[in-house]
Structure 1
Amino acid sequence: MVTPVMARGFVSVVSDSGETTEYDDVQVTHTGNRLVLSGTRESGMTETLTIEKDQCVQDGKVQFCSGGTVSLEHYRVTEVIQYRNLAVYTNTSNTPVQVPGTLVTLGPNTFMLEIKTLKGTYISAFGEFDR
């Protein structure tokens, strides 16, 4: 059994109309194949985005996942999110690592997430795991 690792992060959601919603100080839980991000809107409503990672490959110290199930929970209602593209990069090592084929460097114990939904919404997130 894998013990969850707690972290903090940032999430940005851009709708197809261009409206942007940002969540600072998002609580992140990361286990082997699950990434959970919970943030609170100004209205006080908490929303939780869960990614059940699949289609993962390990390239050095970076894990890259391009598939899985994405769901959004708000007001205790959970909706599965259909997506066109999903990319989850995770560095669970204690050293910085460049994401292969990019100019992006993930610091120690960090993640980066990008999702493009079928409805045209773009979700990006990043954060650092507690050590």
Structure 2
Amino acid sequence: MIRTIFRLMCLLCVVAAGVMPVFATAGGGEQTRSARQDELKIGLVTDVGDVDDGGFNQSAWEAVLMAQAELGATVDYKRTIDPSDREANIAAFAEDGYDIIVTVGFALQEQTLLAAEKYPDVQFIGVDMAFDTDLTNLTGLI
């Protein structure tokens, strides 16, 4: 479980670095944080269960919370109660301007792929998923 958290955290950092601009230089050579970095938003969607289930959902959520602490990201999660809500839960984060959406559980694989195609400016991480695609905004983590 610790290894999963570590791997996901590393991946979140790499992905987040790709969506956040670097420090900008203000007048006088002073470095200031970009406003975009302050607005980093990470959402997590479960396929079944909650973020305290002791499994993948909890590990992924703990990694997202680490990203919140380390990167100052705004984070939230959506628990999927009915399988018919999976697509809507992902879309809600994308439509609300989230930069990174983590989906957890192989049952979300199809919806994650479709969302990555529909929202090319959003980075998607699928936990317990593998993808055979050329999409640059989609990463599977097994």
Whether the TM-score (by the shorter chain) exceeds 0.5 is no
Tell me which protein shows more strand as a share of its residues: 1
Larger Rg: 2
Q: TM-score, normalised by structure 1?
A: 0.31
Q: TM-score, normalised by structure 2?
A: 0.30
